[in-house]
Amino acid sequence: AYEVSISMPCDNIEGILLTATDNCGNVEVSYNDSQVSGGCAGHIIRDFVAVDECGNEAYAQQVIILVDEVAPVITAGPEDMVIECDQEVPGCNVELISYEDNCTEVDVTCADVVTAGDCPQEYTITRTYTAEDNCGNASTFIQTISVVDTTMPWIEYVGEDATIECDQEIPAAEAYVGDNCGEATWTASEEIIDGECANEYTLVRTYNVVDECGNTNSAVQTIVVVDTTAPYFVSVAESVTIECDQDMPVPAAEVADNCGDATWTVSGVTSPGQCANEYVMVRTYTATDACGNTATAEQ
């Protein structure tokens, strides 16, 4: 007695699923299997031979439909990765997947799902490798590739340090910046540090650079403003020759400076003349600006 067609697990086909009897004695049953195509896991044609104690034989044939309900087992796959946004993202490589299966051939495929990150240059790739056998049983392996931007933007150039006179124009802020993955922008802030006099100071200009993912960089430009230019006389009382009974002219001068106000003082030195009532007075006018630069003129 036996079933002409039965189903068995593809990885467990051992065993005689047939009984035979004889009219006189014992019967020994053996079989031979032949693998044939058909179905997802294939078929086996099992040919039985029943032999009694006297060598008489009987034959039977059974079709075994192989059933595969066990998914492949993935034993190894690529590691998770974190890479910079300017690095090349590796592609799918099914050869990195190691697997075992109980019966049939296995096909490995790969699919990516991209999820946006917190900034334009960052994202996550969820890479799913699927190992599927001929009967549709499947296992998956997930690799996560995180693309990040942790590199600060670069500064190619900012305005040069300079020392300028107080009446010169302050150089405008200028910078050239960039980033490894996207755009970068810059702003400039300024701090004034007082100098040793009213017209001198130091301007410290800080350039702050930021990329689209919030990475920052900075550079400093120092501009020293000095006052080394002497004030000048707009006018000074003219030299004169007067009679000894005339009043001495009142000192008079007008001064100016390139950066601010200037003041003047006067001192006189008298030299004897040819007689008692004659002499020469030389008046020295000294102009001084707010930073101590001076100029002189004589009357």
Question: Rounded to the nearest 5 degrees, what angle is found at the Cα of 93, between the Cα atoms of 92 and 99?
Answer: 120
Is 141 within 8 Å of 97 (Cβ atoms)? Answer: yes
Closest CA to 171 of 199, 197, 190, 195: 190
260 token code pair: 């601010």
Helices (H) and strands (E) in the chain, counts: 0, 21
The letter for the amino acid at 140 is T
Place of tokens 């990516």: 112
State the DSSP code for 95. G
| 8 Å CB contact between 175 and 209 | yes
| pLDDT of the chain, 299 residues: tens digit per residue | 677 999 999 999 888 888 899 999 999 999 999 999 988 999 999 999 999 999 999 999 999 999 999 999 999 999 999 999 999 999 999 999 999 999 989 999 999 999 999 999 999 999 999 999 999 999 999 999 999 999 999 999 999 999 999 999 999 999 999 999 999 999 999 999 999 999 999 999 999 999 999 999 999 999 999 999 999 999 999 999 999 999 999 999 999 999 999 999 999 999 999 999 999 999 999 999 999 999 999 99
